Structure 1
């Protein structure tokens, strides 16, 4: 799903008493920081609330009232601590009005309860922190609540799981608006992994270790340097010096997915960067990413990203680089 934005897209962060400071801080760090050295213009960011609000031990002074949400391109709704009670009525109404006015609405963690109260989850897939997913489903039976994913993108309505998944969704929005290469620059600035698929599991039995401190530390960069090759699970297992079954178990623990699904995601992301930063043909990119043919790349790219490669390139090319052909990765 692509999203057309103005020269300076506006992002409004809706705030009210009792919101979770982590999710609020994540959104502010991504959209409120001056990142014009990455993309110029960046975002026109504002904090919106009806008067001063209390977030944990902090007191915030919003820039705008909640009525300003209806004038934003994107509205972000952070989670709040007391999910036992209904969300504030003025916040729910303001979010509903913003969606009706055409804004893209995204909730972080338990902010999904606000979207549910506004009727925006009816008939849609949604997620929230896994510990609150059952209650969200109980309150909003017309929604399909998936507790096992990091975020869900319905185009104009997006929801994320808790904590780190809020950052994943924020980077996903940047990727939609400004392309994969620029989203990766933001991730590098924040010293976090550049991409985790929304469909990745929320709960991974072993947290992702620091580089060099887990059995696949050398395998990941080895595979990324060989995306142009027809790698198999057996190839990966042989390089990691373990059985295919053992490899699959480590992949599940470390990434929440299978080796082949992980490889496929890396190929698509590499194709996105090549489309954004080079003049290489689709045939050349198909070879460079191990997709084989342009037809295969177009099919998988469209299925994963939502648009064909040529459309993606036209949307996210900010300049014309010197023509070149890509020789591997």
Structure 2
């Protein structure tokens, strides 16, 4: 996939669907699956911003940041297909909608939070479009599985501490096989859990059954890269009662105790003398750059919803 230089003439990406001769008179423009990143529009790729600027219609998920949506020009049709508690757009309907819009010859951007292929069902949509004879292009985005820990100063890998990391969903649909948490725990690397807030108690129990000590560090990085971002740190045995509000990424492993941006690395067990301890407290970054700490038993932001709905997009 080649990039287009700013200001350069864009190639003609239209095509005629040979598999669907009834559409032969209508040029079919590729549907572009765009990763919207973790929320901050400054973390959007140049290609993603360009695709939004040139779209005729943007079909977007619930977790796309408000600042990213603000980059969509006036007059461009927006269709919100985000999955929320009590209002979930069936995946089959979304795929059919993309095919329908593309066959009208419109420039369709399918905008997703994070990366389209990390729990974003981008692969499913791409295959459905291809089966319908619609070409597809993909614009990767920064996944929250990396961005959320980074926003809390947590490196998912660190020499001498963690040689790798696993990204896993904490939510399974009925009929899908359960995640083998015990086997995952035995790998011994960092674990980044998406969509796990609602099931964090049972996840904690299963991970401990796999071998990690109850005192294994954990962290919950929530609403990362937005004005509401915050981090809660504690231990694996207390994860079920931790004050973590979705959308959040739960990090399990030694690196979860780190905050390298503030000088906390291997062997550090507390914050600076003028700051609150790690265990069970939430560090919130305010839009003005200030910091404050809230007790870990306080409720999360009132605008947050259960992870079951919020993280359906990533």
The two structures have a TM-score, normalised by structure 2, of 0.29
Between 1 and 2, higher relative CO (CA 8 Å, sep ≥ 6) is seen in 2
Give the TM-score normalised by structure 1. 0.28
Structure richer in helix, relative to its length = 1
